[in-house]
Amino acid sequence: MLARFFDLHLNENMKIQHSAMDTTRKLLQFWAKARIPTRKDYNIIVKVKELHGKRQALKKNSSRKTVTQKANEDAFSDTLNDLFDVAHADATSLIKTADRKFLEAQRAKGRRGCMGPVDCKLSKQEDRHRERDLLAEERRLKEERHKRDSTAAVSE
């Protein structure tokens, strides 16, 4: 995520705000594929800019070789290996069990698990659900037309 931001900011010469916005847009696309509810985009932009600020502060003091500076750099490096968590505050209560387990695995240290290709079983289940909803809507409309036609015939 930070690599995308710096690519846009340094190589594409985009301003920090625009780099953060574009990075957020790409990040939200990825989280949407994982089917995990996220924070509002303006909150994510602030979080990206804060991370950039932390890196800039470390870079500014990088010539110092103190124990504190080394500890700060190590702590920052460790946070980069963790998930850049932009999940909604109530995400665990808003999502189903399989997606919840995936989010918990990603939040764990070391981020076990990964996203694979499309979940065929879930995709088929969602298709069946959509088809049932469409059929129910068609039946409802047909019944309404039938009632309307029968009341029109009775009134004539």
Closest to 37 in 3D by CA, of 103, 107, 87, 84: 87
**β partners of residue 87:** 38
pLDDT at 79: 80
Q: Which amino acid would we find at residue 34? A: A
Collapsing DSSP states into helix, strand and coil, what is residue 15? Answer: coil
pLDDT at 67: 92
Q: Where are the domains of the chain?
A: 2-116, 118-156
Give the whole-angstrom CA distance, residue 95 versus residue 13: 38
Q: How far is CA 70 from CA 52, 76, 118, 152, in A?
A: 18, 10, 42, 84
Closest to 38 in 3D by CA, of 49, 48, 29: 29
- Give the tokens for residue 102: 């995936």
pLDDT at 141: 93
pLDDT at 138: 94
Any idea how long the chain is? 156
pLDDT in tens, 42-64: 888 998 899 899 898 888 888 88
Closest to 105 in 3D by CA, of 87, 129, 127: 87
Mean pLDDT, 10 residues at a time, the chain of 156 residues: 83 89 87 81 89 89 88 85 75 74 72 62 81 94 88 72
pLDDT at 140: 94
pLDDT at 104: 74
- Give the tokens for residue 125: 């289940």
Closest to 46 in 3D by CA, of 78, 3, 17, 89: 17
pTM as predicted: 0.60
Q: Which residue has the tokens 């469409």?
A: 134
